[in-house]
Amino acid sequence: MTDSSLARAASPDELSDIVERALGEARRGGASQAEAGVSTDTGLSVTVRFGEVETLEYQRDRGMGITVYVGGRKGSASTADLSWQAVAETVEKALSIARFTAEDPFAGLADAGLMARDLPDLDLCHPWPLDAEAAIEIARRIEAEALAFDSRIRNSEGGSVSTHSGLRVYGNTHGFLGGYPSTAHSISCVVMGQDDEEMQRDYWYSTARSVADLEPAENVGRRAASRAIARLGSRKLSTRRAPVLFLADQARGLVGHFVSAVRGGAQYRKSSFLCGALGQPVFPSWLSMVERPHLRRELGSAPFDNEGVATRDRDLVAGGKLLGYVLDSYSARKLGMVTTGNAGGVHNLEVGGGTEDFNGLLGRLGTGLLVTDLMGQGVNTVTGDYSRGAAGFWVEEGAISYPVHEVTIAGNLREMYSGLVAVGTDVDRRGGIRTGSILLEEMTIAGD
């Protein structure tokens, strides 16, 4: 790729050429196997606060990373310079590193027979032709709607708009070469409500592959403001044990902790509270988790993983039982298994089994805590111990009674998962994990 071609958007053919040349150079340098990925990204982000532009950023990134294997020795290097001289030097650095690393019998590419061959079109690229002036105007509309929602909205961290487009091409010495463009757009708002001396902050956002799938800008502003106003008058709770309902966007984290515990790395290192749980019941028998990587236009979709392995639908949990781990090729070999195509993470993991909407879950909750915000990092996936700061609402007889803040919720993830009561149909699709609100039988709520 020439310097002049870098001044414009790179084409798939140009990136493919870089990958193929890098792999050829690695072979000539003595690599028995090699893999390389090249990516370019462009973006625009703007934040407006009280109608004035606070931040305006243009992004244009590019880079290549290569990993070589000399027998069982591994070396990796990367560069942001895609000129051929820089690429060749990067390959040489990776080869040099490999010569000094220890032999690892589990190192190497994913098996050749697992490579993706027929790449489905997942409709992941929908550029938003947005200039700075238009982005600023949208951000102003978002914030203005929030500020006008209620006279108690007294402060703002701004309305924001961002759009990003990327292209990544990956190849390896198995002969695999593939890539696809993708986009991600988002709009958001953060405001603060004030009543006398009390201030409460809240937010809302929408993100999607296509601007057509974003919530209307005004809706995002109003929802951020309504959430902040609803938290005014927050109280503390006395310490107690009670049922807890995690709102869908917070429930995603509960599922994320499970995914972390069943990753191959945690399993072979024996650093998971779910070590050796394969085939065992982890959740109630009605719950399922299914990975669906080929959903069109979704944020978690991908035709192949970071090692070129074909992605496919699979059941991770069925009948409440763990049916498999989340594996890349290295962790799979360490465990004597086969990669599940999850190098880079899960793809549209859907939590199923729910039959009730959010209001139905409130009724099932009865009297307990609705969690709408979590703080802190008090989760130990080795022991399963869970303790995080929380805010939300106290619910009595199935109806929201008053807002709550400055409490800590605690339990053990193994017990929390087995004590899961219900999953809602109010699915949050803004990420690679897709779940509705989750109701747990009981947790410790620490307060005054």
CA-nearest of 420, 333, 286 to 111 is 333
What is the DSSP-derived secondary structure letter of residue 213?
A: G
Tell me phi and psi for residue 193, to 5 degrees. -100, 150
Determine the Cα–Cα distance for residues 205 and 47; give it in Å rounded to an integer.
Answer: 13
Q: CB neighbours of 240 closer than 8 A, spacing ≥ 6?
A: 444, 445, 447
**Using CA atoms, how far apart are residues 306 and 37, in angstroms rounded to an integer?**
9
Q: What is the pLDDT of residue 11?
A: 87
Average pLDDT score over the chain: 96
Q: What is the pLDDT of residues 293-350, one digit of tens each?
A: 999 999 999 999 999 999 999 999 999 999 999 999 999 999 999 999 999 999 999 9
| Closest CA relative to residue 248, chosen from 33, 425, 444, 48 | 425
- Residue for token pair 């098996």: 111
For 254, the token pair is: 């509960």
Using DSSP's 3-state secondary structure scheme, residue 445 falls into strand
Tell me the mean pLDDT in the region 113-132: 96
Using DSSP bridges, classify how beta strands 349-352 and 288-291 pair: parallel, antiparallel or unpaired.
antiparallel
**pLDDT in the model for residue 9:** 61
Taking residues 404-424, report their average pLDDT. Answer: 97
Tell me the average pLDDT across 95-109.
97
- Mean pLDDT over 363-369 rounds to 97
Q: pLDDT tens digits for 208-259?
A: 999 999 999 999 999 999 999 999 999 999 999 999 999 999 999 999 999 9
In the sheet with 52-70, reading across from the earlier edge strand, the strands are: 73-79, 52-70, 33-49, 153-172, 177-195, 198-208
Q: Nearest Cα to 14, choosing from 132, 181, 254, 130?
A: 181
> For 194, phi and psi rounded to 5 degrees?
-135, 135
- Report the pLDDT value the prediction gives residue 4, as an integer from 0 to 100: 37
| 6 confidence band (pLDDT: 50, 70, 90) | very low
- Quick one: what percent of the chain has pLDDT higher than 90? 96
Is residue 72 over pLDDT 70?
A: yes
Q: What is the pLDDT of residue 197?
A: 87
DSSP-derived 3-state class of residue 443: strand
pLDDT tens-place string over residues 49-64:
999 999 999 999 999 9
Report yes or no: 388 and 408 within 8 Å, Cβ to Cβ.
yes
The pLDDT assigned to 448 comes to 82
Q: Rounded distance, CA 227 to CA 420, Å?
A: 26
Beta bridge partners of 172: 35
Would the pLDDT of 3 be above 80?
A: no
Domains by residue range for the chain, with CATH? 3-230 (3.30.2290.10), 240-446 (no CATH)
- Residue 203 CA to residue 407 CA, distance in Å, equals 20
Number of H helices, E strands in the chain: 10, 17
DSSP code of 326?
B
Residues 19, 169 contacting (CB under 8 angstroms): yes
> Is 60 exceeded by the pLDDT of residue 7?
no
pLDDT value for 367: 97
Structural element, H or E, at residue 59: strand 52-70
* CA 94 and chain centroid, separation: 29
What is the C-alpha to C-alpha distance for residues 281 and 245, in angstroms, rounded to an integer?
Answer: 22
Residue 1's pLDDT band (boundaries 50, 70, 90)?
very low
